[in-house]
Structure 1
């Protein structure tokens, strides 16, 4: 499994906090149970180029590897 995928899961507040995840070109679109559990700094340290949040929706900008990271994360959830 991907270390980067695990770090992103951790930054999103852990597997139990993620309710939905999909890849969208250069981003991971996620929905989380508790937005306050999301650690933007940890996501950036994991390699995210940016993080956009709006309530429970969190978009993690990761570049061209979004699809493969989404697959890795889904396998880990």
Structure 2
């Protein structure tokens, strides 16, 4: 499993992701169900941090945010 696939799985899978966009060092996402987001899986996939506020999840991934976002969008 590559990094994009692992992050998507940590966000609860493709069906759980409503929106995703890169923001400098983060992936800003909106998910259907925040309870499906697995912080440990995201960190194991290489995330430096995870911030959640309801259905809004920010995954800190560093300068590769743009590339990862495009890879995840291809998987959606």
TM-score band by shorter chain is over 0.9
Q: What residue is the counterpart of 2:5 in the other structure? A: 6
Counterpart CA distance in 1 for 2:14 and 2:8 is 6
Counterpart CA distance in 1 for 2:11 and 2:74 is 16
Counterpart CA distance in 2 for 1:56 and 1:12 is 11
TM-score of the two chains, using structure 2 as the length reference: 0.98
Counterpart CA distance in 1 for 2:41 and 2:55 is 17
Q: What residue is the counterpart of 1:37 in the other structure? A: 36
Aligned-residue Cα RMSD (Å) equals 0.9
| CA deviation after TM superposition for structure 1 residue 26, in Å | 0.1
- Decide which structure has greater helix share: 1
Counterpart CA distance in 2 for 1:56 and 1:39 is 13
| CA deviation after TM superposition for structure 1 residue 33, in Å | 0.2
TM-score of the two chains, using structure 1 as the length reference: 0.97
Segments of 4+ moved more than 4 angstroms: none
Counterpart CA distance in 1 for 2:29 and 2:2 is 18
Structure 2 residues not aligned, in runs of 5+: none
